[in-house]
Every structure is written in C-alpha cells, then in structure tokens.
C-alpha cells in the first residue's frame, strides 16, 4: 500500500513539474511534508545526497525518499512514478515525429535549426572560455587551449583516433602545458 502511495505521489510530481530537477524540489518537499514522511532536516539531507550523486536530482531524490519510506520497493515505486511522465511524453513525441519526419516542412525546420544550435554552442564555449579575461583575449592559456583543440580535431578527423584516446591525450597535454 505504501509503495502505491509513493508511486502516485511521485507520478503527480512528474506530471506537474517543469523547469528541471531543482525546480521540482519544492514540489517534492510539499508532497513529502503533506504526507508526513520526512522531517525538514531529513529532507535536506536526502536532497543534498541526491545532488551529489550522478544523474538527475529529481529522480535521485525520489529514489532516496522512496527507499527511506518503503525500502527497495519504495525506491522502485517512487523512481518509476517520477520518471514515467517524461518517458511517456518522449515516446509519444517520438511516435509523432516518426510519422512526420519525412515532411518537407519538418525537414527544412530541423535543417534550419542546426546552424542556430551550433552557433549557440559555439557562443557558450567562447563566452565561458574567455570569461573573466577582460580585454586580453589572446593569452598563453588561450593559445594552449586552442592548440589542444586543434590537436584533438586532427586526431579525430585525420588519424581516426578513438575519442577516449583523444580525451586522455588532451588531458595529458593540459597537464604539460598548464
């Protein structure tokens, strides 16, 4: 019975939540306190632990709260409850997109979005790469970073190196250069 209550509670949270994992935390806290499952201090500890664990904080929080309340079964119930709405929507959208992906307008829209997405990613990389450098854009750190980037591109494109080997080599180059 407790597992079912956990499932329904986190299913509701999964359906009404927007804005990512950290935006869900107040809703989860409200539901947990409304059911009287955890004290505020316990909830804070669980959310802190969920934030340190790899993966989405909402699913991690649901799993830990479910485990605290109902053991392994509670963890499974809460996790399925919070993940199911997103999974359902993704499958629904994928089915819809599969039916219309050959449409000329849809193809054109996605081709038009590619350069925009690439530009946004490039902007973010440049913005964060040069953040705090002020007027000096070309420093030894920047030059070293660009050399490592160029070497990684050459390794992947020309020499067909495995991405893990390129990551390891880039890390070693960073140690040597910096």
Per-residue pLDDT, averaged over 9-13, amounts to 95
pLDDT band with cut points at 50, 70 and 90 for residue 141: confident
If one counts every other C-beta atom within 10 angstroms of the C-beta of residue 1, the result is 6
Average pLDDT, the chain: 88
In the prediction, which pLDDT does 110 show?
83
In the prediction, which pLDDT does 147 show?
93
pLDDT at 157 over 70: yes
In the prediction, which pLDDT does 130 show?
65
**Residue with more model confidence, 174 or 18:** 174
- This prediction's pTM: 0.59
In the prediction, which pLDDT does 135 show?
62
Annotate 140-176 with b (16+ C-beta within 10 A) or e (fewer): eeeeebeebeeebeebeeeeebeeeebeeebeebeee
């Amino acid at each position: 019975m407790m597992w079912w209550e956990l499932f329904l509670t986190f299913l509701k949270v999964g359906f009404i939540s927007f804005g990512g994992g950290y935006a869900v935390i107040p809703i989860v806290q409200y539901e947990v306190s409304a059911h009287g499952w955890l004290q505020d201090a316990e909830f804070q500890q669980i959310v802190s632990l969920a934030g340190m664990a790899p993966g989405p904080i909402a699913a991690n929080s649901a799993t830990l709260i479910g485990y605290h309340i109902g053991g392994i079964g509670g963890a499974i119930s809460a996790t399925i409850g919070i993940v199911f709405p997103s999974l359902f929507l993704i499958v629904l959208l994928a089915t819809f997109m599969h039916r219309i992906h050959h449409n000329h307008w849809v193809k054109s829209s996605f081709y038009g979005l590619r350069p925009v997405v690439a530009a946004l990613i490039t902007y973010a990389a440049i913005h964060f790469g040069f953040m705090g450098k002020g007027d000096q854009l070309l420093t030894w750190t920047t030059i070293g970073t660009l050399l490592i980037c160029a070497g990684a591109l050459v390794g992947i494109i020309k020499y067909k190196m495995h991405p893990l080997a390129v990551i390891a080599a880039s890390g070693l180059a960073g140690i040597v250069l910096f």
